[in-house]
Amino acid sequence: MDVVIIGGGAAGLKAASRIRRKDAEANITVVEAGKYVSLGRCGLPYYVGGLVHEVDNLRETTYGAVRDESYFKRLKNIDVLTLTKAVEIDRDRKAVKIVRDGSEDELNYDYLVVATGSRPVRPPIEGIDAEGVVTLTDAEDAEKIIEMWEEGAERAVVIGAGFIGLESAEALKNLDMDVTVIEMMDRVAPAMLDRDIAVLVENHLNEKGVKVLTNTRVEKILTENEKVSAVVANGKEFPADIVIVATGIKPNTELAEKAGLKIGETGAIWVNEFMQTSDENIYAGGDCVETTCLVTKKKIIAPFGDVANKQGRVIGENITGGRLKFPGVYGTAVFKIFEFTVASAGVNEQQAENAGIDYMSVIAPGPDRAHYYPGARYIRMKIIVERGTWRVIGAQAAGMGEVAKRIDVLSTAIQAGMTIDQLSNLDLAYAPPYSPALDPVITAANVAMNKRDGLFEGVTAFELKERISDENIVILDVRSEEEFRSKRIESDKVIHIPILELRERLDELPRDKEIIVVCQLGLRSFEAARILKGAGFENVKLLEGGMAFWF
């Protein structure tokens, strides 16, 4: 059996490795247009920022072997051809035309795998082709950025505040550069986060000295002597020695289109659940294919390394006689910005709205372990629930504490179709060094159940800011005196009554106005709201997430 794989990234080489493990006799050839194969591109920002010292560290095994051409030949008997471009697929003859060192050749196949990946989008901005304007999607980009920094670059502008943009911003700041991030949407990581979580990320970036500009459109890039000198956005100039463009990716489908393979509604290659294209002898996986969001059932592109690896395994299994399926994704993702971990799973509010899902959301901050245990850190969590079924369909979290394991639990709950009632009874491990007695996941589920059952009405920080001048509201802050002095909502509508004094001081509160209760995390606000309701106050709400979400 002859197998040709176009693309030496995660999907292609995972497929190749799986084929070899199941078929010792198969002839496997991998064609890669670039210099490096099996490069962990997700690690490039850490290479730029100095946390990873060599490019080859990003393609090492756990035991230190570099996954280069020699590695794949010696260990797996897989032929890897780097700096080799596949230029045409002849489906009738089952052949791939390649160009290497200026010479044309041909590879015959019984099965072909298209794993051509994606390329960065370069928006039509004047000056975008100037020297010093780069992306951060391959090793050459990373090496160019380091070279410019070593030559004296001090100011950087990052266009786009998605994963790559934000991680690039941290890497450049770690080089002591002056960094500005410009995002045209109203928040960072807009495809992943809602505003209430995104604003926490923006605040953390600002605290670390990274300037973040949202709702800002880049108009042009200025140059001096053909080198970038500044970025113009919303009519203002931002000096720059380096500009990183991180405005998204586009699947590399040209080869597939030219071969007449079916292209999906997203513009990526169409595949079935077995990762077969419209030609049963051609499989495809990774960034170049579309998949299904299993919450909304809509077709999407999921350009993540873990997805590519899973798809590659399915491809390798099926080429060797298996019938594995890849059903789709739930959009689980995590990234780190300085000390801040940010994660999500399922859909955000905008995606739920676009899919016509009637939903309810709650936010619930809390410590990642027993609050008295040394090293406890706070995390802010949000869950999105489908009304009626009360299934969890989305989750987001951010903070300096242990976020990743919580999002993994919530991702599993979303995949299992769990309701908030089931989530609240999960049997999670508890010990003070690892979790409070009620894990933040369970606390969030309990908050959602309280909201569903009408035990409280909430307002967000955004809503309260918009209503701060409303003469018909009173803001009741029930925190301690020390907390109140350290950070407060600046308004003459604030009445401060510590929670332990509330029952004795109810007569200080007006009964003809809406009372919005505020505390640090939300628990005391809930207690206070129940006290007020029990005492006959009719119009009571609380600030969801408390001062932990105030900005």
Buried b (16+ CB within 10 A) or exposed e, 107-140: bebebbbbbbbbebeeeebebbebebbbbbbbbe
Catalytic status, residue 42:
yes
Round to whole Å and give the CA distance between 8 and 82.
8
Per-residue pLDDT, 99: 96
pLDDT beneath 70: ranges in the chain: none
Q: What is the DSSP letter of 499?
A: G
CATH architecture of 458-549: 3-Layer(aba) Sandwich (3.40)
Tell me the pLDDT tens digit for each residue of 50-91.
Answer: 999 999 999 999 999 999 999 999 999 999 999 999 999 999
Q: Where in the chain is the domain with CATH 3.50.50.60?
A: 2-118+250-319, 133-247, 333-452
Domain 2-118+250-319: CATH superfamily is: FAD/NAD(P)-binding domain (3.50.50.60)
Compute the distance between CA of residue 151 and CA of residue 136 in angstroms, rounded to an integer: 18
Q: Angle between the 305-319 and 10-22 helix axes, to the nearest 10 degrees?
A: 30
Its pTM stands at: 0.91
**CATH for 333-452, options being 1.10.150.20, 3.40.50.970, 3.40.30.10, 3.50.50.60:** 3.50.50.60
**Catalytic pick among 42, 288, 293, 519:** 42
pLDDT of residue 60: 92
Sign of CA dihedral 402, 404, 406, 407: positive
> 273-304 burial by CB neighbour count: b if 16+ within 10 A, else e?
ebbbbbbeebbbbbbbbbbbbebbebbbbbbb
pLDDT at res. 225: 86
Q: What is the pLDDT of residue 261?
A: 98
Q: What is the DSSP string of 326-346?
A: ---B---EEEEETTEEEEEEE
Q: How many CB atoms lie within 10 A of CB 1?
A: 13
Buried b (16+ CB within 10 A) or exposed e, 415-445: beebbbeebbeeeeeeeeeebbeebbbbbbb
Question: What is the dotted CATH code of the domain comprising 133-247?
Answer: 3.50.50.60
DSSP string, 142-207: HHHHHHHHHTT--EEEEE--SHHHHHHHHHHHHTT-EEEEE-SSSSSSTTT--HHHHHHHHHHHHH
pLDDT at residue 226, as a whole number: 86
Strand intervals (E) in 26-167? 27-31, 79-81, 84-90, 95-100, 103-108, 111-114, 118-120, 133-134, 155-159
Contact 461, 551 (CB under 8 A): yes
